[in-house]
């Protein structure tokens, strides 16, 4: 069915079709529209689910954990400080191998108080064991949410998945949306270590030095195994519904001398920038990173690389730039831009490529910082 929707409503529509048994909800700007829309689906009978309006984001994730460990499908959504408040529980969800799906509407961290887009909130969760996908369009927000349930619940994965969409520049933007009937694309959930509330059992949760590292390794093993599951899921999605996705979305990269790497909505702006640069005779291409965890193997040999980070790790640098440098052993031109919703146009992106100085860091809008 074709319609016009915001990114938030696209996520809610996908959740309705995935039919989670439990949805835990706490409002926070700019995510609130997701849980409000799902609440409407539940009250109108369009979604049969236990909707739990909790008292905090920490409780929202705790409720999902409690439900998921019984073997049912769960969902929640948050943003920014809400995600930070969940941090204890996000570690718990991954450590307990629970396939919770969560939408995170990327927003800056205060103070100063700011409600606009930035990726630092989700990237602070990068080491918890959650899979992370970053989307750039309303359609992709819907498609990625549907796929997230299938990926998270696959028995070779059994890790939570976070679907990230830029605050306001995608969460509240109206774009065309083509919904589908997923049918058996999302199979019934089967959690092999689910507990049965009807048969209470006592569990010892303490793991000593001889065992704890094995649990950590098992998360890493599943993160590696998730690569094939993601690839198979995206391939099956394309076969059934005609829309193709990869770990990256590449634009005019085949013969490019310089690659502009970004995540989220900047990836679409970058395509316009690349067309401008090509007309100037600069052989540039755009690579939009979709999956940050697991981090994909990037084909950047022989290319100059310009990385746009809508985030920062103080004392270290742009997080995406550091990840790329660590994997490829290549120096990049690291650009910090878009923090807290700072306006960055396709002309700005093109200018970053024109003025690149490989091996340096540049903060857009700050003078004398190269």
pLDDT in tens, 300-342: 999 999 999 999 999 999 999 999 999 999 999 999 999 999 9
Whether residue 344 sits in one domain with residue 207: no
248: β partners: 289
**Pairwise CA distance, residues 240 & 370, whole Å:** 48
**Pairwise CA distance, residues 21 & 34, whole Å:** 17
β-strands 22-25, 50-53 pairing: parallel
Whether residue 75 sits in one domain with residue 123: yes
The total number of structural domains that make up the chain: 2
Whether residue 224 sits in one domain with residue 82: yes
Whether residue 164 sits in one domain with residue 54: yes
3-state SS, 211-271, equals CHHHHHHHHHHHHHHHHHHHHHHHHHHHHHHCCCCCCEEEECCCCCCEEEEEECCHHHHHH
Whether residue 233 sits in one domain with residue 291: no
Residue 247 has a CB neighbour count (10 Å cut-off) of 18
Task: Provide the 8-state DSSP code for 72.
Answer: -
357 found inside a domain: yes
Whether residue 315 sits in one domain with residue 213: no
Whether residue 277 sits in one domain with residue 234: no
Pick the closest to residue 290 from 229, 261, 245, 248 (CA basis): 248
Nearest 5 degrees, angle CA 272-CA 242-CA 231? Answer: 85
Q: Give, in order, the Cα–Cα distances in Å from 175 to each of 2, 28, 101, 150.
A: 11, 22, 23, 25
369 found inside a domain: no
Nearest 5 degrees, angle CA 353-CA 260-CA 7? Answer: 125
CB 168, CB 341: distance < 8 Å: yes
370 found inside a domain: no
Whether residue 276 sits in one domain with residue 222: no
Burial of residue 13 (number of CB atoms within 10 Å: 0-12, 13-18, 19+) = buried
The pLDDT, as a whole number, for residue 281 is: 98
Write down which residue in 241, 276, 308 finishes a domain: 241
**Pairwise CA distance, residues 209 & 134, whole Å:** 36
**Pairwise CA distance, residues 306 & 260, whole Å:** 5
pLDDT digits (tens, 9 = 90+) for 3-53: 999 999 999 999 999 999 999 999 999 999 999 999 999 999 999 999 999
Whether residue 136 sits in one domain with residue 57: yes
CB 167, CB 117: distance < 8 Å: yes
224 found inside a domain: yes
Write down which residue in 199, 222, 241 finishes a domain: 241
267 found inside a domain: yes
Write down which residue in 241, 273, 302 finishes a domain: 241
**Pairwise CA distance, residues 100 & 162, whole Å:** 9
Q: Residue 286, SS3? A: strand
Report the pLDDT averaged over residues 124-128. 97
Identify the domain containing residue 296 by its residue range: 248-363
pTM of this structure: 0.97
Looking up tokens 């103080």 gives 314
pLDDT digits (tens, 9 = 90+) for 99-113: 999 999 999 999 999
Whether residue 284 sits in one domain with residue 201: no
pLDDT score of 215 more than 70: yes
**What is the helix (H) or strand (E) element at residue 140, kind and residue range?**
helix 138-153
324 found inside a domain: yes
Share in percent of the chain as helix, strand, coil (round to 5)? 40, 20, 45
Whether residue 301 sits in one domain with residue 349: yes
CATH code of residue 226: 3.40.50.970
The pLDDT, as a whole number, for residue 200 is: 86
The pLDDT, as a whole number, for residue 369 is: 65
Report residue 259: phi and psi, to 5°.
-115, 130
pLDDT digits (tens, 9 = 90+) for 242-290: 999 999 999 999 999 999 999 999 999 999 999 999 999 999 999 999 9
The pLDDT, as a whole number, for residue 204 is: 78
272 found inside a domain: yes
CATH code of residue 325: 3.40.50.920
The pLDDT, as a whole number, for residue 367 is: 78
232 found inside a domain: yes
Whether residue 143 sits in one domain with residue 286: no
């Amino acid at each position: 069915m074709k319609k016009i929707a915001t990114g938030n409503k696209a996520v809610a529509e996908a959740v309705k079709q995935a039919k989670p048994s439990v949805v835990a909800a706490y409002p926070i700007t700019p995510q609130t529209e997701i849980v409000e829309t799902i609440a409407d689906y539940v009250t109108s009978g369009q979604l049969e689910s236990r909707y739990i309006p909790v008292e905090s984001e920490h409780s929202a994730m705790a409720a999902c954990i409690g439900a998921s460990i019984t073997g049912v499908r769960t969902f929640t959504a948050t943003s920014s400080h809400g995600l930070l408040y969940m941090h204890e529980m996000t570690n718990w969800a991954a450590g307990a191998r629970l396939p919770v799906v969560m939408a995170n509407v990327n927003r800056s961290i205060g103070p100063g108080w700011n409600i606009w887009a930035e990726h630092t909130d989700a990237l602070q969760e990068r080491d918890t064991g959650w899979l992370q996908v970053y989307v750039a369009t309303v359609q992709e927000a819907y498609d990625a949410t549907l796929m997230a349930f299938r990926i998270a619940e696959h028995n070779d994965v059994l890790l939570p998945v976070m679907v990230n969409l830029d605050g306001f520049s995608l969460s509240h933007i109206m774009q065309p949306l083509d919904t589908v009937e997923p049918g058996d694309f999302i199979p019934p959930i089967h959690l092999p270590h689910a507990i049965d509330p009807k048969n209470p059992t006592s569990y010892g949760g303490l793991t000593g030095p001889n065992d704890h590292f094995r649990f950590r390794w098992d998360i890493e093993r599943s993160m590696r195994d998730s690569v094939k599951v993601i690839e198979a899921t995206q391939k099956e999605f394309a076969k059934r519904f005609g829309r193709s996705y990869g770990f990256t979305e590449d634009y005019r990269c085949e013969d490019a001398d310089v690659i502009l790497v970004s995540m989220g909505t900047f990836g679409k702006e970058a395509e316009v920038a690349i067309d401008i640069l090509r007309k100037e005779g600069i052989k540039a291409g755009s690579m939009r990173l979709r999956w940050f965890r697991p981090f994909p193997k990037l084909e950047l040999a022989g290319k100059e690389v310009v990385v746009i980070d809508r985030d920062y790790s103080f004392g270290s640098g742009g997080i995406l730039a550091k990840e790329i440098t660590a994997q490829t052993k290549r120096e990049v031109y690291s650009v910090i831009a878009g923090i807290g919703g700072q306006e960055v146009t396709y002309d700005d992106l093109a200018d970053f490529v024109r003025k690149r100085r490989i091996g340096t860091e540049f903060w857009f809008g700050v003078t004398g910082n190269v």
